[in-house]
């Protein structure tokens, strides 16, 4: 019995449905591997965050960290929801532009933004640039000199010196990090001074992000407290008023029965409580609080459909059951040892009969989606659905082995919309040029 599947997730035939659409029909209509999002779940998640801020009566923004899943369609959903978005590259920015997303509600992140990317952001009228380092300040100065009519709002990213309890690859808050200005050595103060001296720049706030897939509140409380402390120091020393405290993202989700995160709302409540308490102690005006969730907005709403192909039985060992996707559409098991749960589309509650190694089709022994996957009786052609794959799956997809990347479908109110086409072999060679020697 899979505890992530509710009775309402099954249709009358007992098949798993997503957004009211039968997963077997989705597989048949669009092929596999296929990534499907339950769009209503995405909308609800944003609303759940907002409800907390509204109950707490604080100014806020929910800024979707779009590195978790960037596409024209997701930016359009974010626009419908009046959310903010974060982008981390010219490519994500161009995608948001193509989606018609209002640039005033975009924040631009990154520890090595290029001159061209900063020019693009300034010309597009991006709402906030999260300034990360001194080189970026120099580049921004140049860009603003070349665009005398422009001005930008910026937030200063600090490294809060808080180590999050998570995988070291996705922890960012510790002092030894490539992101942001260090506090203790005075770099953050120096950055503030430099930015305040540039007339075309308006410093609106302070940003920190401690990591991703975090399960408890302590780190967030720590970062909230630290940000208020910095705001208080800067008010006293430089007469600078912080209007926005941006605590980043990183709210953990439940991928498997091994994960026990608190509810996303409880992270926000803990952050708000700590900011309020610290602001009161420091006798400051209450700033707006921004959060940047990525995974918690799109992760649980995403599903990957695979078709079972070959099977290899080895006496005394777990059998290998291979599917038609793998590390090209989801690198997370290979890269982070990430665990997921997977069910049989036609009968998600079917009795489990065996444990298998769920293997991908890529030419690499490490291409194992799950090294211990409980499964009911299956045969080639059966559709499996891997749950909670909506964050950092398609976003990190590759064409390894020249496999085409999967299609992406948005399902809502019983309707399925193709939002990213499946790559074709022609797409795969689209950029290739001939090399013929005379």
Q: Which of 15, 109 has the CB closer to ligand LLP? A: 109
- Binding window for ligand LLP (CB under 6 A); candidates: 61-69, 274-282, 398-406, 419-427: 61-69
Q: Which of residues 282-301 bind ligand LLP (CB under 6 A)?
A: 292-296
Q: Which of 16, 334 has the CB closer to ligand LLP? A: 334
Q: Binder to ligand LLP among 15, 226, 332, 405 (CB under 6 A)?
A: 332
- Binding window for ligand LLP (CB under 6 A); candidates: 63-71, 120-128, 300-308, 398-406: 63-71
Q: Which of 153, 347 has the CB closer to ligand LLP? A: 153
Q: Binder to ligand LLP among 27, 65, 321, 369 (CB under 6 A)?
A: 65
Q: Are strands 383-387 and 21-22 parallel, antiparallel or unpaired?
A: unpaired
- Binding window for ligand LLP (CB under 6 A); candidates: 64-72, 282-290, 350-358, 423-431: 64-72
Q: How far is the CB of 92 from ligand LLP (least distance, A)?
A: 12
Q: How far is the CB of 157 from ligand LLP (least distance, A)?
A: 8
Site mask, ligand LLP, residues 236-265, x = CB under 6 A? Answer: ------------xxxx--------------
- Say whether the peptide bond before residue 395 is cis (omega within 30 degrees of 0): no
Q: How far is the CB of 32 from ligand LLP (least distance, A)?
A: 22
Q: How far is the CB of 173 from ligand LLP (least distance, A)?
A: 10
Q: Which of residues 151-170 bind ligand LLP (CB under 6 A)?
A: 170
> Which residues are catalytically annotated?
363
Residues at the contact surface with ligand LLP, assessed by CB under 6 A: 65, 67-68, 109, 170, 172, 209, 212-213, 248-251, 292-296, 332, 336, 391-392
């Amino acid at each position: 019995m899979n505890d992530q599947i509710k009775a309402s997730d099954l249709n009358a035939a007992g098949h798993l449905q997503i957004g009211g659409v039968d997963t077997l029909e989705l597989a048949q209509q669009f092929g596999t591997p296929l990534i499907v999002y339950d769009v209503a779940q995405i909308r609800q998640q944003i609303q759940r965050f907002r409800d907390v801020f509204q109950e707490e009566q604080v100014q806020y923004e929910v800024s979707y960290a779009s590195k978790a899943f960037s596409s024209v369609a997701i930016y359009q959903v974010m626009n419908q929801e009046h959310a903010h978005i974060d982008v981390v590259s010219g490519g994500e920015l161009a995608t948001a532009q193509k989606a018609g997303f209002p640039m005033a509600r975009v924040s631009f992140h990154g520890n090595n933004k290029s001159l061209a990317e900063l020019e693009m952001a300034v010309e597009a009228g991006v709402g906030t640039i999260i300034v990360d380092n001194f080189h970026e300040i120099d580049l921004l100065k140049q860009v603003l000199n070349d665009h005398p009519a422009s001005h930008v709002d910026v937030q200063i990213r600090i490294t809060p010196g808080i180590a999050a309890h998570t995988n070291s690859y996705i922890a960012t808050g510790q002092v030894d990090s490539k992101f942001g200005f260090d506090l203790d050595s005075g770099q953050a103060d120096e950055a503030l001074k430099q930015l305040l001296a540039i007339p075309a720049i308006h410093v609106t706030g302070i940003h920190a992000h401690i990591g991703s897939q975090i399960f408890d509140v302590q780190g967030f409380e720590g970062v909230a407290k630290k940000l208020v402390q910095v705001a208080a120091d800067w008010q006293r020393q430089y007469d600078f008023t912080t209007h926005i405290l941006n605590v980043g993202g990183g709210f953990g989700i439940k991928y498997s029965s091994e994960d026990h995160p608190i509810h996303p709302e409880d992270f926000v409540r803990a952050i708000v409580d700590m900011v309020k308490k610290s602001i009161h102690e420091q006798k400051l005006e209450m700033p707006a609080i921004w959060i940047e969730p990525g995974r918690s907005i799109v992760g649980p709403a995403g599903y990957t459909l695979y078709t079972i192909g070959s099977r290899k039985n080895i006496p005394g060992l777990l059998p290998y059951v291979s599917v038609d996707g793998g590390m090209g559409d989801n690198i997370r098991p290979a890269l982070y040892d990430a665990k997921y749960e997977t069910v049989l589309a036609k009968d998600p509650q079917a009795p489990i009969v065996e444990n298998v190694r769920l293997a991908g089709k890529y030419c690499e022994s490490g291409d194992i989606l799950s090294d211990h996957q409980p499964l009911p009786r299956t045969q080639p052609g059966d559709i499996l659905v891997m749950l909670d794959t909506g964050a950092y799956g398609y976003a990190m997809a590759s064409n390894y082995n020249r496999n085409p990347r999967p299609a992406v479908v948005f399902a809502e109110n019983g309707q399925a919309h193709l939002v990213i086409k499946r790559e074709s072999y022609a797409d795969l060679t689209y950029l290739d040029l001939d090399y013929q020697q005379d």
